[in-house]
Chain A
Amino acid sequence: MKELSLNIFDISQNSVKAKAEKIEITLDETEETLAITIRDNGCGMTAEQVRNVMDPFFTTRTTRNVGLGVPLLKLAAEQTGGGIRIESVSEKDNPENHGTVIRADFFTKHLDFTPLGDIVSTVTLMIQGAPDIRWIFIHNTGSGSVELDTDELKAVLGDVPLNNYDVIKWIEEYLKEGYADIHYNMGYNL
């Protein structure tokens, strides 16, 4: 993947497929590190499935929603000296409280760090593709944070779906302004 944003897009699709009602994407940046956390309340995975998603060579064909997505994120993190962690509780094991948390840690000064890329377009299109999910996006940077919770938008929008074009544009502009306000340099022309 050319941008970490694309990895985020890809991993979040697993949460959508896991029938999550809520997906929370958090980016925490310090001077030299970036942590990406994707947390959902979807159907979760068994311990064996978690092992399988980590390694493409151990992936069995019985788990259809598993592919190269997690290994690619793992590679992107490990090549900077970081790594990933997955915690998951399957719906079978705990019908009340299930879901998956994937956390990837990066050392941003490393030569092989993949830039975050166009996170605004990514978040906007993720919402466009799954407008019934509650999306929470929080990006804590060194100079401030950008946050979006689609539940706050829905409270105002009523019956108008989040994938309405005007709403999608609003979300895109809102995020762009958020990044401009904190003078965030994403090495990308917005």
Chain B
Amino acid sequence: MKSLAELAAIREKMKDKVILREGTGEIRVVVGMATCGIAAGARPVLNAFVEGVNKEGLGDKVTVSQTGCIGVCQFEPVVEIYESGKDKVTYVKMTAEKAAEVIEKHLKGGKVIGEYTITNAIS
């Protein structure tokens, strides 16, 4: 049974982690969660990023957040990746499977998957 005591344990654990967190290069993964994104299937995509980033141990380096309509509704679910010193990468028509691939190749390996980007979709 889930208890509040477990949350207290999480708090204890995090005390030591705060110091480690500083100074790491941050990557932001932003999932479009407006009506268009949600209707197109953004929830499992978001879930795949939240789960996958943690499973791959990227939690200190990568944050996963949500935003409203990015303005390209026909390409939803849309995911944007921001990394300091690099151009923003926009992935379109995302699925949970593609998200796992982006985590593996892009977030871990540093290699953009051109095939899934908006640049590829409109060219």
Chain A residues packing against B (C-beta within 8 Å): 1, 6, 9-10, 13, 17, 67-69, 72, 118, 121-122, 125, 128-130, 152-153, 156-160, 164-168, 170, 173-174, 177
Decide if the interface of chain A is mainly helix, strand, loop or mixed: helix
The one of A13, A72, A153, A166 that contacts B33, using a Cβ cutoff of 8 Å? A13
- Cα A55 to Cα B65 with chains together (Å): 30
B35 within 8 A of A: yes
Chain B residues packing against A (C-beta within 8 Å): 1-2, 4, 6-8, 10-11, 13-14, 33-35, 38-39, 43, 46-47, 50, 54, 59, 64-66, 68-69
- Cα A167 to Cα B35 with chains together (Å): 26
Chain B contacts for A122, CB-based, 8 A: 43
Given contacts A152-B4, A170-B10, contact A125 B68 (CB under 8 A): no
- Cα A72 to Cα B65 with chains together (Å): 25
Query: When the two chains form their complex, are residues A158 and B2 in contact, meaning their CB atoms are under 8 A apart?
Result: no
Query: When the two chains form their complex, are residues B38 and A6 in contact, meaning their CB atoms are under 8 A apart?
Result: yes
Query: When the two chains form their complex, are residues A165 and B50 in contact, meaning their CB atoms are under 8 A apart?
Result: yes
- Cα A170 to Cα B10 with chains together (Å): 10
Given contacts A9-B38, A13-B68, contact A125 B7 (CB under 8 A): no
Given contacts A157-B7, A167-B10, 13 further A-B contacts (CB under 8 A): A1-B38, A6-B43, A9-B43, A10-B35, A13-B34, A68-B35, A69-B35, A118-B43, A158-B11, A159-B14, A164-B14, A170-B2, A170-B7
Given contacts A125-B43, A128-B50, A164-B14, contact A156 B4 (CB under 8 A): yes
Query: When the two chains form their complex, are residues B10 and A125 in contact, meaning their CB atoms are under 8 A apart?
Result: no
